[in-house]
A and B are shown apart, each in its own frame.
Chain A
Amino acid sequence: MAAIKVYGAAYSTAAARVLATLHEKGLDYELVHVDMITGEHKKESYISRNPFGQVPAFEDGDLKLFESRAITRYISQQYADKGTSLEFSDPKKQAVANLWIEVEAHHFDPNAQKLNYELTVKPVILGLETDHSVVAEYEPKFEKVLDVYEERLSQSRYLGGDSFTLADLHHLPTIQYLLGSSAKKLFESRPRVNAWVDDITSRPSWTKVVELRNQAFKSSKKE
């Protein structure tokens, strides 16, 4: 029985963020499925693990956490000597990586998730119509963020610095969904962003998480 447990579903971007980190670190864990489609994450039995009724929740022995970006940073620090290093030991370098972690959280993801919801979640998962006025509102905002990334990636090999860190990893789940939609063109038209997207999405650890995600989709369709 693994000491590390993740409560969630691999098709959740936030859960996938944690799974990617565990795979980069080569850590054993148990994924306890939470059926988001039937709203299991809003029920009493789950709320004690995450009082906001969101996925994922996490346990490492008797330490219980939630919020994906707190979990990833805990894993990265607690298991610093295992697998891929996802942080810099130099405090000034890590300060810059933390800055780009905040950029993902406050600039990239809010806009990307609005597009993801209209372009993928609604038509493919919920069977609803895309609201093109929302797409028209958020695409330019998202493009401004990608323009900043294009400039940043001309000065730095990865977003957070000269090697792959959580600052890059945190983007993977939402990027993966956007690559399956018309928003893909927004990455392709920016050469450095495009190269960075190709690089990080082809990491073996991420490929494993995408397999888990696809399996989770298939299983949910059988229900």
Chain B
Amino acid sequence: MVLKLHGLPMSTSTTRVMICLHEKGLDFELVPVDLFARENKQPLFLAKNPFGQVPVLEDGDLTLFESRAITAYLAEKYKDSRNDLIRHESLNESAMVKVWSEVESHEYDPVVSQIVHQHFVAPMIGKTSDQTVIDENLEKLGKVLDVYETRLSNTKYLAGDFFSLADLHHLPYTFYFMKTPWASILNDRPHVKAWWEDISSRPAFEKVAVGMVFGEK
């Protein structure tokens, strides 16, 4: 039974899951959801995700939404194959994966997503991008990345000296952020830059990045 992922190849939340699937070497079927035709707000889709968002994963009779719940499920189910993204054999290491996954969710994502939305998505949906929002969030992002710079001068990856879900979850929005005029905020911080270059050159991510076409004509 093949895993089915409902979503789009340029969506940050869909790609978050796709990267995880590729890291685990899993076959899956990507079922496109036509967001522009509001397919995600139709009853058939709402029955899968009542919040009307992508992605949705179907694994036999199990239907899941929320990208970080899906990656956690896949990382747990396939924990013994390839890299262990959740470090299940060490309670201390798995706790650190959870800490830095929460950091991505609560400190990083709300800030970087605003910048990416204003810069790429707003123009795509016929709105003007709000520079005030961008500026506020660039300042916040600088402070968050200062914390990352200190952390990454002590460990190779966020949760420790091992690549984990905590790093993986950052890939989609950071990829788009690095295509904005403000990439220097990341590049000016040498440990963050080295970490970004490392995680974004992983083969699983490179496969997915091909479809991430915001900002390209």
* A residues lining the B interface (CB < 8 Å): 51-52, 63, 65-70, 73-74, 77-78, 91-92, 95-96, 98-99, 101-103, 105-107, 110, 148, 151-152
B205 at the binding interface (Cβ < 8 Å): no
For the complex, is B62 an interface residue (Cβ under 8 Å from A)?
yes
Distance of A96 Cα from B59 Cα, bound (Å): 12
State whether A105 touches B106 (Cβ < 8 A).
yes
Nearest B residue to A102, CB-CB:
B66
**CB-CB nearest in chain A for B103:** A67
Interface residues on chain B, number (Cβ under 8 Å)? 30
Question: In the assembled complex, how far is the CB of residue B11 from the closest CB belonging to chain A, in whole angstroms?
Answer: 15
Other-chain residue from A52, A105, A151 in contact with B50 (beta carbon distance below 8 A): A151
Interface SS, A side: helix
Please judge, given known A-B contacts A52-B103, A105-B105, whether A98 and B50 are in contact too, CB under 8 Å: no
**Nearest Cβ on chain A to B72's Cβ, whole angstroms:** 5
Candidates B62, B66, B106; contact of A92 at CB < 8 Å: B62
Contacts of B103 in A (CB 8 A): 52, 67
Closest chain A residue, CB of each to CB of B143: A52
In the assembly, what is the distance between CA of A65 and CA of B101, in Å? Answer: 12
The residues in B between 58 and 92 inclusive whose CB is less than 8 angstroms from any CB of A are 62, 64-66, 68-69, 72-73, 76-77, 91-92
Q: Which one, B98, B106, B151, contacts A74 given CB within 8 A?
A: B98
Q: In the bound complex, how far is the Cα of B144 from the Cα of A72, in angstroms?
A: 23
Q: Is B39 an interface residue (CB 8 A)?
A: no
Q: Is the CB of B64 within 8 A of A52?
A: no
Q: Knowing that A63-B92, A65-B96, A102-B68 are A-B contacts, what are 20 other residue pairs whose CB atoms are under 8 Å apart, sorted by A's residue number?
A: A51-B147, A52-B144, A52-B147, A67-B103, A67-B106, A68-B102, A69-B102, A70-B99, A74-B98, A78-B91, A95-B62, A96-B62, A96-B64, A98-B66, A98-B69, A98-B73, A99-B64, A102-B69, A103-B51, A148-B51
Residue of A nearest to B148 (CB): A51
